[in-house]
Amino acid sequence: AQTVTQSQPEMSVQEAETVTLSCTYDTSESDYYLFWYKQPPSRQMILVIRQEAYKQQNATENRFSVNFQKAAKSFSLKISDSQLGDAAMYFCAYRRSGRSGGSNYKLTFGKGTLLTVNP
Amino acid sequence: EAQVTQNPRYLITVTGKKLTVTCSQNMNHEYMSWYRQDPGLGLRQIYYSMNVEVTDKGDVPEGYKVSRKEKRNFPLILESPSPNQTSLYFCASTRDSPSKRYNEQFFGPGTRLTVL
């Protein structure tokens, strides 16, 4: 079974600084997706960024970028120029590719990292 | 507006009193799923459905039932709730694709359930 580990229960960053959230995962599959979700106090699950395992290039979305190390099974999220609105719980998640077979689009989540942004 | 809706958003109930949390999506998605979120555990899948009348267990199905009689609706049923089912529940949906290419999974706003 796949597992996702977030080793940092809490992190803090100064406004305008850069912070990196860590995530490692375990899988025997070669084709899969990795995600970072943001959950603000409203509790809504917001997709921040997605990485497809067969793509070597790291995904970026504005101030958010990932460092995807497939061999090491590592998937960290870097937030640049941190803003007060970035304060939230961040979840790393894994999903097998549909091309791998099976019909369940289940997301396997880590336990989350609570990010505080200090003004 | 494309969305997944859940009702109720908040519910406080007592042990053993049957309840249903509704989930509805307006995107004609084939796949729907329920997760529960607990502190320190992240989100875990309860049940999922690939289409009408097709449902299967996720990782933590004990104490829950689901049904999928219509494509847009996927209710979560707790026939005899217990305090360990106090949690935050999310419904999610996505399109199934014959080519199995990626489709984004959309989440509902969550239902906070407390069982006394």
Does residue A1 surpass a pLDDT of 80? no
What band does A108 get if pLDDT is binned at 50, 70 and 90?
very high
Q: Are B99 and B67 in contact (CB under 8 A)?
A: no
Task: Say if residue A20 is exposed, middle or buried (CB neighbours under 10 Å; 0-12, 13-18, 19+).
Answer: middle
What band does B33 get if pLDDT is binned at 50, 70 and 90?
very high
By C-alpha distance, the chain A residue nearest B40 is A111
| pLDDT score, position B96 | 81
Which residues on chain B are in Cβ contact (under 8 Å) with A109?
Answer: 42-44
Beta bridge partners of A24: A5, A74
Is A98's CB within 8 Å of B109's CB? no
| pLDDT score, position B101 | 73
Q: DSSP secondary-structure letter at B73?
A: B
Q: How far is CA A112 from CA A9, A39, A85, A93, A107, in A?
A: 6, 9, 17, 10, 14
* Residue from A8, A35, A32 nearest A22 by CA: A8
| Interface with B, mutate which of A105, A106, A108, A109 (most B CBs under 10 A) | A105
Amino acid type, B27: M
Q: Nearest C-alpha of chain B: how many angstroms from A42?
A: 8
Does residue A101 surpass a pLDDT of 70? no
| pLDDT score, position B24 | 98
> Average model confidence (pLDDT) for chain B?
94
pLDDT digit string (tens) for B73-109?
Answer: 999 999 999 999 999 999 999 988 766 677 888 999 9
pLDDT digit string (tens) for A9-67?
Answer: 999 999 999 999 999 999 998 889 999 999 999 999 999 999 999 888 999 999 999 99
Q: How far apart are CA B71 and CA B15, in angstroms?
A: 31
Is B41's CB within 8 Å of A111's CB? yes
| pLDDT score, position A31 | 87
| pLDDT score, position A99 | 64
Q: Nearest C-alpha of chain A: how many angstroms from B112?
A: 10
What band does A5 get if pLDDT is binned at 50, 70 and 90?
very high
Beta bridge partners of A47: A37
Q: Which of residues B74 and B51 earns the better pLDDT score?
A: B74
Q: Which of residues B87 and A105 earns the better pLDDT score?
A: B87
| pLDDT score, position B100 | 65
- Cβ–Cβ contact B100 with A under 8 A: yes
* Residue from B83, B103, B91 nearest B37 by CA: B91
Does residue A100 surpass a pLDDT of 70? no
Is B48's CB within 8 Å of A4's CB? no
